[in-house]
Amino acid sequence: MQPRHFASVVAAATLWGFGGVLGTMLGDHAGIGALSIAMWRMLVAGLALLAYLAARGALRMLTGPALRRAMVTGALTALFEACFFSAIAASSVGVATLIGIGSAPVFVALWDWWRTRVRPPATTVAALVLALGGLAALLGGSLNAGGSGGWGAVIALAAGASFAAITVVNRGEVEGLGPVEHTAFAFTLGGIILVPAAAFAGLGAASDAYGWVLTIGMGVGVTALAYVLYLGGLRTVPPFVATVVSFLEPLVAAVLASIVFGERLGWSGIVGGIALAAAIVLLRPQRDEPESIH
Protein backbone atom coordinates (compact mmCIF):
# COMPACT_ATOMS: atom_id res chain seq x y z
CA MET A 1 0.00 0.00 0.00
CA GLN A 2 1.60 3.22 -1.15
CA PRO A 3 1.16 6.35 1.04
CA ARG A 4 0.10 8.50 -1.94
CA HIS A 5 -2.67 6.07 -2.82
CA PHE A 6 -3.79 5.95 0.83
CA ALA A 7 -3.86 9.76 0.81
CA SER A 8 -5.98 9.67 -2.37
CA VAL A 9 -8.59 7.47 -0.67
CA VAL A 10 -8.62 9.77 2.38
CA ALA A 11 -9.11 12.80 0.12
CA ALA A 12 -11.94 11.03 -1.74
CA ALA A 13 -13.82 10.20 1.47
CA THR A 14 -13.39 13.79 2.65
CA LEU A 15 -14.85 15.13 -0.60
CA TRP A 16 -17.84 12.76 -0.31
CA GLY A 17 -18.65 14.48 2.98
CA PHE A 18 -19.00 17.80 1.11
CA GLY A 19 -21.31 16.05 -1.36
CA GLY A 20 -23.88 15.35 1.34
CA VAL A 21 -24.10 19.02 2.28
CA LEU A 22 -24.33 20.17 -1.36
CA GLY A 23 -26.97 17.54 -2.09
CA THR A 24 -29.05 18.70 0.89
CA MET A 25 -28.74 22.32 -0.21
CA LEU A 26 -29.79 21.39 -3.75
CA GLY A 27 -32.77 19.36 -2.56
CA ASP A 28 -33.96 22.14 -0.25
CA HIS A 29 -33.47 24.86 -2.88
CA ALA A 30 -34.91 23.13 -5.94
CA GLY A 31 -37.24 20.57 -4.36
CA ILE A 32 -35.43 17.68 -6.07
CA GLY A 33 -35.85 14.14 -4.79
CA ALA A 34 -32.96 11.97 -3.60
CA LEU A 35 -32.88 9.69 -6.66
CA SER A 36 -32.82 12.67 -9.01
CA ILE A 37 -29.92 14.15 -7.03
CA ALA A 38 -28.05 10.83 -7.31
CA MET A 39 -28.76 10.68 -11.04
CA TRP A 40 -27.58 14.26 -11.68
CA ARG A 41 -24.40 13.88 -9.64
CA MET A 42 -23.46 10.78 -11.67
CA LEU A 43 -24.39 12.22 -15.06
CA VAL A 44 -22.68 15.56 -14.46
CA ALA A 45 -19.55 13.82 -13.15
CA GLY A 46 -19.36 11.39 -16.06
CA LEU A 47 -20.13 13.87 -18.84
CA ALA A 48 -17.77 16.48 -17.41
CA LEU A 49 -14.91 13.99 -17.40
CA LEU A 50 -15.75 12.84 -20.93
CA ALA A 51 -15.62 16.50 -22.03
CA TYR A 52 -12.28 16.92 -20.24
CA LEU A 53 -10.85 13.90 -22.05
CA ALA A 54 -12.19 15.14 -25.40
CA ALA A 55 -10.65 18.59 -24.84
CA ARG A 56 -7.28 16.97 -24.22
CA GLY A 57 -7.63 14.74 -27.27
CA ALA A 58 -7.49 11.72 -24.95
CA LEU A 59 -11.01 10.40 -25.51
CA ARG A 60 -10.83 6.98 -27.12
CA MET A 61 -12.65 3.69 -27.27
CA LEU A 62 -11.93 1.38 -24.38
CA THR A 63 -10.54 -2.11 -24.80
CA GLY A 64 -12.81 -5.04 -24.01
CA PRO A 65 -11.51 -5.62 -20.44
CA ALA A 66 -11.52 -1.87 -19.70
CA LEU A 67 -15.08 -1.45 -20.97
CA ARG A 68 -16.30 -4.41 -18.91
CA ARG A 69 -14.69 -2.96 -15.77
CA ALA A 70 -16.28 0.46 -16.42
CA MET A 71 -19.69 -1.09 -17.08
CA VAL A 72 -19.61 -3.18 -13.90
CA THR A 73 -18.44 -0.19 -11.84
CA GLY A 74 -21.17 2.03 -13.30
CA ALA A 75 -23.92 -0.50 -12.64
CA LEU A 76 -22.75 -1.18 -9.08
CA THR A 77 -22.44 2.54 -8.32
CA ALA A 78 -25.97 3.17 -9.63
CA LEU A 79 -27.22 0.30 -7.45
CA PHE A 80 -25.41 1.70 -4.41
CA GLU A 81 -26.85 5.19 -4.93
CA ALA A 82 -30.39 3.88 -5.45
CA CYS A 83 -30.27 1.55 -2.42
CA PHE A 84 -28.65 4.09 -0.12
CA PHE A 85 -31.14 6.87 -0.81
CA SER A 86 -34.05 4.42 -0.72
CA ALA A 87 -32.83 3.22 2.69
CA ILE A 88 -32.85 6.81 3.93
CA ALA A 89 -36.45 7.20 2.76
CA ALA A 90 -37.49 3.88 4.38
CA SER A 91 -35.76 4.46 7.72
CA SER A 92 -33.47 7.40 8.53
CA VAL A 93 -30.16 8.95 7.60
CA GLY A 94 -28.61 7.40 10.70
CA VAL A 95 -29.78 3.85 10.02
CA ALA A 96 -28.92 4.04 6.32
CA THR A 97 -25.45 5.42 7.02
CA LEU A 98 -24.59 3.06 9.88
CA ILE A 99 -25.70 -0.06 8.00
CA GLY A 100 -25.03 1.04 4.42
CA ILE A 101 -21.54 2.40 4.98
CA GLY A 102 -20.73 0.43 8.12
CA SER A 103 -21.47 -2.96 6.58
CA ALA A 104 -19.17 -2.45 3.56
CA PRO A 105 -15.87 -3.31 5.32
CA VAL A 106 -17.58 -6.26 7.01
CA PHE A 107 -18.61 -7.62 3.60
CA VAL A 108 -15.07 -7.08 2.30
CA ALA A 109 -13.53 -8.79 5.33
CA LEU A 110 -15.88 -11.76 4.94
CA TRP A 111 -15.08 -11.97 1.22
CA ASP A 112 -11.35 -11.91 1.88
CA TRP A 113 -11.66 -14.54 4.63
CA TRP A 114 -13.71 -16.80 2.33
CA ARG A 115 -11.26 -16.29 -0.53
CA THR A 116 -8.02 -16.74 1.44
CA ARG A 117 -9.18 -18.74 4.51
CA VAL A 118 -6.86 -16.51 6.55
CA ARG A 119 -8.17 -14.82 9.69
CA PRO A 120 -7.71 -11.04 9.76
CA PRO A 121 -4.98 -9.82 12.12
CA ALA A 122 -5.76 -8.13 15.43
CA THR A 123 -5.04 -4.66 14.01
CA THR A 124 -7.68 -5.15 11.32
CA VAL A 125 -10.29 -6.32 13.83
CA ALA A 126 -9.46 -3.45 16.21
CA ALA A 127 -9.74 -0.89 13.41
CA LEU A 128 -13.14 -2.27 12.36
CA VAL A 129 -14.50 -2.24 15.92
CA LEU A 130 -13.25 1.31 16.47
CA ALA A 131 -14.70 2.48 13.16
CA LEU A 132 -18.13 0.91 13.71
CA GLY A 133 -18.31 2.16 17.30
CA GLY A 134 -17.22 5.62 16.22
CA LEU A 135 -19.78 5.71 13.42
CA ALA A 136 -22.59 4.70 15.80
CA ALA A 137 -21.53 7.37 18.31
CA LEU A 138 -21.25 10.00 15.59
CA LEU A 139 -24.77 9.31 14.30
CA GLY A 140 -26.22 9.34 17.79
CA GLY A 141 -29.92 10.08 18.05
CA SER A 142 -30.59 9.86 14.33
CA LEU A 143 -30.50 6.07 14.62
CA ASN A 144 -33.97 6.05 16.16
CA ALA A 145 -35.51 8.54 13.76
CA GLY A 146 -37.54 7.57 10.73
CA GLY A 147 -40.06 4.95 9.72
CA SER A 148 -39.84 1.31 8.79
CA GLY A 149 -36.41 0.48 10.16
CA GLY A 150 -36.56 -3.22 9.29
CA TRP A 151 -37.13 -2.78 5.57
CA GLY A 152 -34.78 0.22 5.52
CA ALA A 153 -32.05 -1.90 7.13
CA VAL A 154 -32.41 -4.57 4.43
CA ILE A 155 -32.06 -1.97 1.68
CA ALA A 156 -29.10 -0.41 3.50
CA LEU A 157 -27.41 -3.82 3.62
CA ALA A 158 -27.81 -4.01 -0.16
CA ALA A 159 -26.16 -0.59 -0.39
CA GLY A 160 -23.26 -1.79 1.76
CA ALA A 161 -22.83 -4.93 -0.33
CA SER A 162 -22.86 -2.80 -3.50
CA PHE A 163 -20.17 -0.44 -2.21
CA ALA A 164 -18.07 -3.38 -1.05
CA ALA A 165 -18.43 -4.94 -4.53
CA ILE A 166 -17.35 -1.66 -6.19
CA THR A 167 -14.20 -1.68 -4.07
CA VAL A 168 -13.39 -5.39 -4.52
CA VAL A 169 -14.03 -5.34 -8.28
CA ASN A 170 -11.65 -2.41 -8.69
CA ARG A 171 -8.78 -4.03 -6.83
CA GLY A 172 -5.79 -3.55 -9.09
CA GLU A 173 -5.52 -1.99 -12.54
CA VAL A 174 -6.83 -2.79 -16.01
CA GLU A 175 -4.46 -1.93 -18.84
CA GLY A 176 -5.56 1.17 -20.73
CA LEU A 177 -8.05 2.27 -18.05
CA GLY A 178 -6.84 5.17 -15.92
CA PRO A 179 -8.91 6.63 -13.05
CA VAL A 180 -10.22 9.52 -15.17
CA GLU A 181 -11.35 7.31 -18.07
CA HIS A 182 -12.77 4.80 -15.63
CA THR A 183 -14.84 7.36 -13.74
CA ALA A 184 -15.94 9.12 -16.94
CA PHE A 185 -17.40 6.03 -18.61
CA ALA A 186 -18.65 4.34 -15.43
CA PHE A 187 -20.53 7.36 -14.14
CA THR A 188 -22.06 8.28 -17.47
CA LEU A 189 -23.40 4.73 -17.70
CA GLY A 190 -24.47 4.72 -14.04
CA GLY A 191 -26.31 8.01 -14.45
CA ILE A 192 -28.18 6.66 -17.48
CA ILE A 193 -29.13 3.55 -15.50
CA LEU A 194 -30.62 5.78 -12.77
CA VAL A 195 -32.79 7.81 -15.17
CA PRO A 196 -35.79 5.38 -15.11
CA ALA A 197 -35.72 5.10 -11.29
CA ALA A 198 -35.46 8.88 -10.91
CA ALA A 199 -38.27 9.39 -13.42
CA PHE A 200 -40.49 6.91 -11.55
CA ALA A 201 -39.86 8.76 -8.28
CA GLY A 202 -40.53 12.14 -9.90
CA LEU A 203 -37.68 13.43 -12.03
CA GLY A 204 -36.51 16.90 -11.03
CA ALA A 205 -33.82 19.35 -12.05
CA ALA A 206 -32.46 22.74 -11.03
CA SER A 207 -34.53 25.64 -12.39
CA ASP A 208 -32.19 28.58 -11.83
CA ALA A 209 -28.52 29.53 -11.91
CA TYR A 210 -27.94 28.88 -8.21
CA GLY A 211 -29.44 25.41 -8.49
CA TRP A 212 -27.20 24.55 -11.43
CA VAL A 213 -24.15 25.89 -9.58
CA LEU A 214 -24.95 23.46 -6.77
CA THR A 215 -25.57 20.64 -9.27
CA ILE A 216 -22.31 21.22 -11.14
CA GLY A 217 -20.36 21.73 -7.94
CA MET A 218 -21.70 18.44 -6.56
CA GLY A 219 -21.06 16.57 -9.79
CA VAL A 220 -17.70 18.00 -10.83
CA GLY A 221 -16.11 19.43 -7.70
CA VAL A 222 -17.08 16.57 -5.41
CA THR A 223 -18.24 13.41 -7.18
CA ALA A 224 -15.98 13.30 -10.26
CA LEU A 225 -12.82 14.30 -8.42
CA ALA A 226 -13.58 12.07 -5.44
CA TYR A 227 -14.09 8.93 -7.51
CA VAL A 228 -11.04 9.61 -9.67
CA LEU A 229 -9.03 9.75 -6.43
CA TYR A 230 -10.77 6.69 -4.94
CA LEU A 231 -10.41 4.45 -7.99
CA GLY A 232 -6.81 5.60 -8.41
CA GLY A 233 -6.05 4.82 -4.77
CA LEU A 234 -7.39 1.27 -5.14
CA ARG A 235 -4.32 0.47 -7.24
CA THR A 236 -2.52 -0.43 -4.02
CA VAL A 237 -4.90 0.29 -1.11
CA PRO A 238 -6.58 -2.95 0.04
CA PRO A 239 -10.39 -2.97 -0.29
CA PHE A 240 -10.92 -3.41 3.47
CA VAL A 241 -8.77 -0.38 4.25
CA ALA A 242 -10.51 1.70 1.59
CA THR A 243 -13.99 0.92 2.91
CA VAL A 244 -13.00 1.79 6.50
CA VAL A 245 -11.45 5.06 5.33
CA SER A 246 -14.78 5.84 3.61
CA PHE A 247 -16.20 6.32 7.15
CA LEU A 248 -14.64 9.77 6.91
CA GLU A 249 -17.59 10.75 4.72
CA PRO A 250 -20.21 10.92 7.52
CA LEU A 251 -17.65 12.49 9.86
CA VAL A 252 -16.91 15.33 7.44
CA ALA A 253 -20.62 15.68 6.64
CA ALA A 254 -21.46 15.96 10.35
CA VAL A 255 -18.81 18.64 10.92
CA LEU A 256 -19.97 20.61 7.86
CA ALA A 257 -23.62 20.28 8.92
CA SER A 258 -22.75 21.79 12.29
CA ILE A 259 -21.12 24.73 10.50
CA VAL A 260 -23.55 25.26 7.61
CA PHE A 261 -26.87 24.18 9.15
CA GLY A 262 -26.13 24.79 12.83
CA GLU A 263 -26.61 21.14 13.79
CA ARG A 264 -25.09 20.13 17.13
CA LEU A 265 -22.34 17.55 16.97
CA GLY A 266 -22.41 16.85 20.72
CA TRP A 267 -19.98 14.91 22.90
CA SER A 268 -20.98 11.57 21.40
CA GLY A 269 -20.19 12.95 17.95
CA ILE A 270 -16.80 14.20 19.10
CA VAL A 271 -15.97 10.84 20.71
CA GLY A 272 -17.17 9.06 17.57
CA GLY A 273 -15.00 11.27 15.39
CA ILE A 274 -11.94 10.52 17.52
CA ALA A 275 -12.64 6.77 17.29
CA LEU A 276 -12.96 6.99 13.50
CA ALA A 277 -9.71 8.90 13.25
CA ALA A 278 -7.99 6.31 15.46
CA ALA A 279 -9.24 3.48 13.22
CA ILE A 280 -7.80 5.15 10.14
CA VAL A 281 -4.48 5.77 11.89
CA LEU A 282 -4.31 2.05 12.71
CA LEU A 283 -4.70 1.23 9.01
CA ARG A 284 -2.27 3.81 7.65
CA PRO A 285 0.65 2.57 5.51
CA GLN A 286 3.64 1.30 7.44
CA ARG A 287 7.24 1.29 6.31
CA ASP A 288 8.15 -1.83 4.35
CA GLU A 289 4.53 -2.92 4.49
CA PRO A 290 3.75 -5.68 1.98
CA GLU A 291 1.00 -4.84 -0.50
CA SER A 292 -1.55 -7.37 0.67
CA ILE A 293 -5.18 -7.39 1.71
CA HIS A 294 -4.53 -7.16 5.44
Boundaries of every domain in the chain: 3-282
Tallying the residues shown for the chain, one arrives at 294
**% of the chain exceeding 90 in pLDDT:** 28
Q: What is the pLDDT of residues 215-238, one digit of tens each?
A: 999 899 888 999 999 999 988 888
Residue 136 has pLDDT above 50, yes or no: yes
* CB-based contacts of 22, cutoff 8 Å, min separation 6: 214, 217, 218, 222
Q: What whole-number distance in Å separates Cα of residue 79 and Cα of residue 117?
A: 29
The mean pLDDT of 33-44, rounded to a whole number, is: 88
Residue-wise pLDDT for 173-188, tens only, equals 888 788 999 999 999 9
Question: If you average pLDDT over every residue of the chain, what do you get?
Answer: 84
What pLDDT shows up at residue 123?
Answer: 83
pLDDT at residue 270 tops 70:
yes
Query: Alpha carbon of 252 to those of 174, 184, 246: distances in Å?
Result: 31, 25, 10
Query: Whole-angstrom Cα distance, residue 98 to residue 161?
Result: 13
Write down the pLDDT at residue 291. 45
What pLDDT does 191 receive?
93
Please write the tens of the pLDDT for every residue from 65-91. Answer: 999 999 999 999 999 988 887 887 777
